[in-house]
């Protein structure tokens, strides 16, 4: 399903309103503003962070604090801007004291993120840090192991490149992490300009195909000669 820009915006506005009214987890009791996400509804790239911090909670916008400023600078370094991407989070409400998201909160909020990906239909989803990477890859491997190598996943009904990246907040704390993040982000333009993501063949289908091929009668040597 590919939506027109207008339909996409209408559906995102409906989803935005649903998120504003959301009471699916206790975080709605302590948040100031739900943070839906922001950017270009037709973006080719979605960045997914962890959860709103204090400033995001006050303004109702994602990545508006120091980590967001760094993300903007790093994007400019590869000739891109925040305006041309979409930025969202795993959680739409701030966890008190910026503690880690809890499994029940992630579970309650995940339909919103998957619906955002389904509606926006990006080519690349950049996951920032462990929580977004584990949720969207469906793999418990930590960010230090998987960062920088694009994976292909089917998300929201279509194939995307998932590019796991260090979280900019970690980059603010450690200069070496910042340089790694800068280097990994530099692969993004290539993913946008190159061939589209092709989903890996499901393993069971590949095994079945191999078994079928092994069971099929083999042409004899004479027949093979016919086709050079
Ligand atoms: N960190 C996040 O993960 N998300 C934000 O929106 C801000 C900081």
| Average pLDDT score, the chain | 92
Percent of the chain surpassing pLDDT 90: 86
Q: Span 203-225, mean pLDDT?
A: 58
What is the rounded average pLDDT of the residues 65-72? 97
Instruction: Compute, in angstroms, the gap from residue 35 CA to the centroid of ligand 1.
Output: 10
pLDDT at 206: 58
Assess whether the C-beta atom of 130 lies below 6 angstroms from ligand 1: no
* Ligand 1 centroid, distance to 153 Cα (angstroms): 23
Query: Domains of the chain by range and CATH?
Result: 5-201 (3.40.470.10)
Q: Which residue has the higher pLDDT, 35 or 214?
A: 35
Q: In Å, how far are 139, 216, 224 from 221, measured between CA atoms?
A: 46, 15, 5
Question: What DSSP assignment string belongs to 131-191?
Answer: HHHHHHH-----HHHHTT--EEEEETTEEEEEEEE--HHHHHH-HHHHHHHHHHHTTHHHH
> What are the C-alpha distances in Å from 126 to residues 24, 33, 85, 122, 214?
26, 24, 10, 10, 40
Q: State if residue 67 touches ligand 1 by the CB under 6 angstroms criterion.
A: yes
Atom from ligand 1 closest to the CA of residue 67: 8
At 133-188, the pLDDT tens digits run 999 999 999 999 999 999 999 999 999 999 999 999 999 999 999 999 999 999 99
Mutate to test the pocket of ligand 1, among 63, 101, 109 (most ligand atoms within 8 A of CB): 63
pLDDT at 204 over 90: no
């Amino acid at each position: 399903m590919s939506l027109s820009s207008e339909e996409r915006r209408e559906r995102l506005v409906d989803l935005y309103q649903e998120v504003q009214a959301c009471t699916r987890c206790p975080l709605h009791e302590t948040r100031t503003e739900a943070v839906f996400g922001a950017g270009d509804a037709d973006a080719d790239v979605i960045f997914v962070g962890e959860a709103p911090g204090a400033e995001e909670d006050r303004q109702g916008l994602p990545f508006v604090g120091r980590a967001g400023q760094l993300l903007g600078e790093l994007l400019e370094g590869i000739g891109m801007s925040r305006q041309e991407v979409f930025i969202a989070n795993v959680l739409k409400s701030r966890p008190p004291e910026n503690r880690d998201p809890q499994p029940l909160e992630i579970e309650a909020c995940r339909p919103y993120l998957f619906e955002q990906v389904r509606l926006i239909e990006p080519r690349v989803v950049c996951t920032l840090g462990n929580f977004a990477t584990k949720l969207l890859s469906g793999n418990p491997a930590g960010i230090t192991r998987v960062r920088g190598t694009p994976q292909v996943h089917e998300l929201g009904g279509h194939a995307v490149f998932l590019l796991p990246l260090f979280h900019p907040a970690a980059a603010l704390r450690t200069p070496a992490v910042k340089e790694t993040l800068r280097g990994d982000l530099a692969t993004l333009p290539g993913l946008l300009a190159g061939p589209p993501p092709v989903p890996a063949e499901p393993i069971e289908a590949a095994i079945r195909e191999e078994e079928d091929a092994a069971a099929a009668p083999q042409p004899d040597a004479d027949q093979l000669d016919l086709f050079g």
